[in-house]
Structure formats: C-alpha cells, structure tokens
Chains A and B, each alone.
Chain A
Amino acid sequence: RKEVEQDPGPFNVPEGATVAFNCTYSNSASQSFFWYRQDCRKEPKLLMSVYSSGNEDGRFTAQLNRASQYISLLIRDSKLSDSATYLCVVNIITGGFKTIFGAGTRLFVKA
C-alpha cells in the first residue's frame, strides 16, 4: 500500500465548477500536511497547509481528518488557470524528517 494515495484523476471540469480532491495517508506518525500544485515540467509549488480545523484561502479549502487519516482539497469557481496536477504531501518525523508525495491528481478546467 502506498504511504500517500490520491484520487486517480484526471478531473475534467468546466469553468466555474466546484471540484474536490481526496487523499489518504497510512503512516500514523505523519505530522504535517500540505497541498502542492505542479504545472507540467515544473517544480511543485506550495498551495496551502492543511490543519484539522480546516483552512481556507480564497477559492481553496483544505481539511484534515486525523482519525480517518484523510485530507481533502476543495476548489470553488474553477478557473482555467487552475489546470495543473495537485499533490498531496505528508511530512513524517520519526527519528528524521521525511516528505512523502502522493502521485498527484490531474485537473483540467475547460472553457
């Protein structure tokens, strides 16, 4: 089983749609959680951190459920520029520091 698993995608949505991505992690020693965005042939860029209390940044809302080991990302009012791959990222700190990336979910927003 992969340490971080994401929706397989790709998601094809029209502009203005709301889309939700899910992610599960298996290591209970996971300490911090993030969503990154990666454009084609580019490095990942931090989109937002994820907290149990939930956090919102404009059209983006992230949520963490530690009991279920589940992370979500909601994008409202999708824009063409949101088209990218969204990576679920988990940091594990057990004797060292390790970052685990999910395989990513591809989003295509179309006019």
Chain B
Amino acid sequence: GAVVSQHPSRVICKSGTSVKIECRSLDFQATTMFWYRQFPKQSLMLMATSNEGSKATYEQGVEKDKFLINHASLTLSTLTVTSAHPEDSSFYICSARDPGQPIYEQYFGPGTRLTVT
C-alpha cells in the first residue's frame, strides 16, 4: 500500500526556536497533504490542508504565521513551527491523498512528537 513518511519522528527543542517537520509520499504523487495535531487523549485536529504549488488552507484558529506550510513538490510537504512554545508540544501527523485512489483514501505518516522545553 501507499507509504507516507515523516521526519523527524521525535524532536525536543527549546522555547523560541523553530522546528521543521517533513512529510513525504514515497510511492505516489500527492497533490494534497493534510497536517493534524493531536494532544494527549484528544482527537486528531486538522490544522491545514497543503496543496502542491499553492498556499495552504488553514483551519479556523490555526495561526498561519506560526505554522508555516510549504508544499513545493508532489512528494514533499513541510510544516515549520516557528517560535515554538511549550503549549505547541504535541503529536503532529501528516496524511496524503493519492489522486489515483478514491477521494476519501488518506495515508497517514507515522507522526512527529514535538516537545518544547
């Protein structure tokens, strides 16, 4: 089946620094990727939809200047958490849609656990 990778799987950073998370589709070209955040014991919350070659669409309440998304190629989307704070500590998961598959098919990356100290 389709594979999506994320890097890094775990990152610890100091408050005020920026962190970049990569999401790659390994065996298909993803025109659309999604970024989710999951706090402990809560559901995945969609942060933004990343479209290749255009600006990302952010969900209400998600600061686009804080969470920078770049989808410059059909196989790579990046999420940069700028000026990270402890409250940004969370599990960040990306997913990708294969345009050759039904619209509802999403393939999830393994997630990135961010800890801001």
Contacts and interface: CB of A to CB of B under 8 A. Distances in A.
B87 to A, nearest CB: 19
B43 A43 contact: no
Interface string B40-75: 011111100100000001000000000000000000
Interface stretch (A12-20, A51-59, A97-105): A97-105
A66 interface: no
B111 A91 contact: no
A34 B103 CA distance: 13
Nearest to A43: B108
Interface string B71-91: 000000000000000000001
A24 B24 CA distance: 33
A62 interface: no
Interface residues of A, number: 21
A43 B110 contact: yes
Given A31-B104, A96-B49, A101 B57 contact: no
A32 interface: yes
Interface in B1-57: 32, 34, 36, 41-46, 49, 57
Interface of B: 32, 34, 36, 41-46, 49, 57, 91, 93, 95, 97, 103-104, 106, 108-111, 113
